[in-house]
Chains A and B, each alone.
Chain A
């Protein structure tokens, strides 16, 4: 009993394999990376020198039209789909290419502009972003608005064609050296909570802006506080309408938790490195380590498959909303567990910052950073509130 006649069937059945052209695309990137990835690792992008080296890498990427393959060609992209983006990311991590200093821009603001920006805004910001001329930071959090982001107090008061911005943002990643920040500001002073917020882009070299870098656990200023003292910003720097900020920010946050920022290749590569670390040291390890390493490797694959599934949904016209909260909890816990196991394996050398045996130094750095995964992009507790209330429909109060 076929429910639809053959002619009327939607013939695109689930098909879990790459097409010929996707495989070709993979070889093309692999080839380009093999010629262009710097042979020596760059300095950390949380240092002045390393930041500029990473900016150069963004330029190199853009010269190859690899800045963001899903963007339209007019902004330097290749108009490819999300599956191809995932392939790109897999090759990126395989090639051990430098981290993206402009990830706040290309992965988060980029898609937001694509959806909510005017043509003028797109042409002004997207190309400069792809080129690495504008490196972006995010400005949501404030001292008293962390998980409760609707408690934002920084203001943007409209004055004809400009906004006058006052207040403070904090924990803004890359802000120590970045060129611009995007964030939410209260444009209606009478408003409360989610209403009356606007999404505004601010140049960090503008008069009245003070950036105070904050050292993270590794001692480097990976984030910063930003003070705004009567900062004048052109009204054309607002994305969407006045008061539409919350809605737009939620879309941006969705990109961050889910598909865009944490592409699965990163965790799969960590899982394979962990396996190698395990097999190099297995003679002195206990069976539980073998077991945990195997679990992590499987989880990294499970995460990748899930993201392929999400990408397929988006390509079929579905929106990914609260589902991204499921991914966020999953990858952040996995990342921590993988690094924790590496520390267990490294044992006595796990405290040695200069120990290059077994790549201890890079595991230590990753281990520290893995503590932040359950916090940034919305803490895991907040994600679980979202999962239970929005996906499972449990009562809010």
Chain B
């Protein structure tokens, strides 16, 4: 049992963080909003060359076979940066499917994924293929074979689409021994949790900076106890999200019998953290926080989207509740890391 990141894991994520803070400025995000809705292919290429995009592709296919805990850490950094490009989706949703269907999928391109929990794939026009589920069965289809319509997200960083297959015969049914519908659901829950965790950290950091700088009554507003306690409440919820996200990633990686339960718990807590971060973080900025001009909402908006997709609060709460009902005798402190497969 060890909850520390190895030097390797830490270094790898720090180098991503460095790249993101140098390159993904809020200015560049705003440019993305006004220029077009396609992702910056130069940025995608750079991240590809640095090895991030294929980090969890199998070594036999030119990746690094990185474990999902490290990937969750990377996705947290991506959340923190507010980057529009769907690297999180590539790592969490596409790459595991590419590993499984490497002969069928063009793995040099971004692969879009649609699921009942997130039916409007992000950046569909920038991908060549889509994996979607029909009656919980997975299908692979070329984008040309789809009728697609662009939708407007409340987060201009998300370029989302509605799609319709003209004919299911245009798609290939993917055969797998696993329940891919549930697997993608779990990956989606943990991905969105890691993103929300990163976003929450970004929001509290902005609020911290702002409240140390802005003065009223002749002193920084961060010296007022009401403001301090508001942000302390955020820090507490964030603190108790971290380990839940890593455990969920670990349980998925190990194919643990409780993976769904653990993913749902991580999602529930990360929604809670991001919600209080957004509410209190904005409050600490006063009216300035309520403007389009202030960068704060770039991150808050992303949170709004990822709270709803890949497992909304009622959805994950029901998952947990129904599991508790079913497993009543197996509750309590000795079962935190339990795996029925053992």
A residues adjacent to B (C-beta < 8 A): 1-4, 9-19, 22, 26, 83, 89-91, 93-94, 264-265, 268-269, 271-272, 275-276, 279, 290-291, 294-295, 297-299, 301-306, 308-309, 311-313, 315-316, 323, 326, 329-330, 381, 383-385, 387-389, 391-397
7 tightest Cβ-Cβ pairs between the two chains A and B: A388-B228, A1-B51, A305-B243, A265-B333, A268-B333, A312-B3, A384-B232
A2, A271, A392: the one contacting B208 at CB < 8 Å is: A392
Q: How far is the CB of A328 from chain B (nearest CB, A)?
A: 10
Whether A308 lies near B243 (C-beta < 8 A) is yes
B4, B236, B269, B337: the one contacting A387 at CB < 8 Å is: B236
Q: In the complex, A14→B337 CA distance in Å?
A: 14
Q: How far is the CB of A371 from chain B (nearest CB, A)?
A: 20
Whether B208 lies near A1 (C-beta < 8 A) is no
* Interface residue B206 (Cβ < 8 Å from any Cβ of A): no
* Interface residue B320 (Cβ < 8 Å from any Cβ of A): yes
* Interface residue B219 (Cβ < 8 Å from any Cβ of A): yes
Taking A13-B6, A387-B235, A395-B212 as contacts, is the C-beta distance between A306 and B242 under 8 angstroms?
yes
B64, B222, B240, B332: the one contacting A272 at CB < 8 Å is: B332
Whether B336 lies near A302 (C-beta < 8 A) is no
Q: Which of B8-16, B33-41, B157-165, B173-181 is the contact stretch?
A: B8-16
Name the residue among B50, B229, B240 with the largest chain A CB count within 10 angstroms. Answer: B240
Whether A306 lies near B240 (C-beta < 8 A) is yes
B5, B51, B231, B243: the one contacting A394 at CB < 8 Å is: B231
Interface residue SS majority, chain A: helix
Whether A384 lies near B1 (C-beta < 8 A) is no
* Interface residue B246 (Cβ < 8 Å from any Cβ of A): yes
Q: In the complex, A10→B265 CA distance in Å?
A: 30
Q: In the complex, A389→B320 CA distance in Å?
A: 36
Q: Which of B99-107, B139-147, B289-297, B321-329 is the contact stretch?
A: B321-329
Q: In the complex, A1→B62 CA distance in Å?
A: 11
Residue numbers in B under 8 Å from A291 (CB-CB): 317, 321
Whether A10 lies near B6 (C-beta < 8 A) is yes
Q: How far is the CB of A263 from chain B (nearest CB, A)?
A: 9
**7 sampled A-B residue pairs with Cβ under 8 A:** A2-B51, A2-B64, A16-B251, A17-B254, A297-B331, A385-B228, A385-B232
A18-B337, A295-B317 are known; give 8 further A-B pairs, CB within 8 A.
Answer: A13-B67, A83-B1, A275-B324, A294-B321, A315-B2, A330-B240, A392-B204, A395-B219
Whether A16 lies near B1 (C-beta < 8 A) is yes
B residues adjacent to A (C-beta < 8 A): 1-9, 11-12, 15, 50-51, 64, 67, 69-70, 204, 208, 211-212, 219-220, 222-223, 225, 227-229, 231-233, 235-236, 239-244, 246-247, 250-251, 254, 265, 268-269, 317, 320-321, 324-325, 328, 331-334, 336-337, 339
B1, B11, B324, B333: the one contacting A15 at CB < 8 Å is: B1
B51, B208, B227: the one contacting A393 at CB < 8 Å is: B208
B3, B4, B269, B334: the one contacting A298 at CB < 8 Å is: B269
Q: How far is the CB of A93 from chain B (nearest CB, A)?
A: 6
Whether B232 lies near A393 (C-beta < 8 A) is no
Name the residue among B4, B212, B246, B325 with the largest chain A CB count within 10 angstroms. Answer: B4
Residue numbers in A under 8 Å from B11 (CB-CB): 3-4
Q: In the complex, A356→B93 CA distance in Å?
A: 52
Q: How far is the CB of A17 from chain B (nearest CB, A)?
A: 6
Q: How far is the CB of B264 from chain A (nearest CB, A)?
A: 9
Q: In the complex, A381→B232 CA distance in Å?
A: 10
Whether B243 lies near A309 (C-beta < 8 A) is yes
Whether B331 lies near A275 (C-beta < 8 A) is yes
Residue numbers in B under 8 Å from A268 (CB-CB): 332-333, 336
Whether B15 lies near A14 (C-beta < 8 A) is no
Q: Of all chain B residues, which has the CB nearest A13? A: B6
Q: In the complex, A19→B2 CA distance in Å?
A: 10
A3, A89, A392: the one contacting B12 at CB < 8 Å is: A3
Taking A22-B1, A394-B208 as contacts, is the C-beta distance between A388 and B247 under 8 angstroms?
no
Residue numbers in A under 8 Å from B324 (CB-CB): 275, 294, 297
Taking A83-B1, A306-B239, A384-B232 as contacts, is the C-beta distance between A14 and B69 under 8 angstroms?
yes
Q: How far is the CB of A260 from chain B (nearest CB, A)?
A: 16
Whether A303 lies near B333 (C-beta < 8 A) is no
Q: In the complex, A306→B334 CA distance in Å?
A: 15
Name the residue among B2, B8, B204, B246 with the largest chain A CB count within 10 angstroms. Answer: B2
Whether B8 lies near A4 (C-beta < 8 A) is yes
Q: How far is the CB of B308 from chain A (nearest CB, A)?
A: 18
A16, A301, A330: the one contacting B250 at CB < 8 Å is: A16
Taking A268-B333, A306-B240, A394-B223 as contacts, is the C-beta distance between A14 and B212 under 8 angstroms?
no
Q: Of all chain A residues, which has the CB nearest B262? A: A301
Q: Of all chain A residues, which has the CB nearest B332? A: A272
Q: In the complex, A311→B220 CA distance in Å?
A: 36
Whether B228 lies near A276 (C-beta < 8 A) is no
Residue numbers in A under 8 Å from B5 (CB-CB): 13-14
Q: How far is the CB of B46 from chain A (nearest CB, A)?
A: 12
Residue numbers in B under 8 Å from A304 (CB-CB): 333, 336
Taking A1-B51, A308-B3, A393-B212 as contacts, is the C-beta distance between A326 and B334 under 8 angstroms?
no
Q: How far is the CB of A69 from chain B (nearest CB, A)?
A: 15
Q: Of all chain B residues, which has the CB nearest A386? A: B232
Residue numbers in A under 8 Å from B328 (CB-CB): 275-276, 279
Q: How far is the CB of B227 from chain A (nearest CB, A)?
A: 8
Whether B223 lies near A397 (C-beta < 8 A) is yes
B1, B8, B229, B254: the one contacting A10 at CB < 8 Å is: B8
Residue numbers in B under 8 Å from A16 (CB-CB): 1-3, 69, 246-247, 250-251, 337
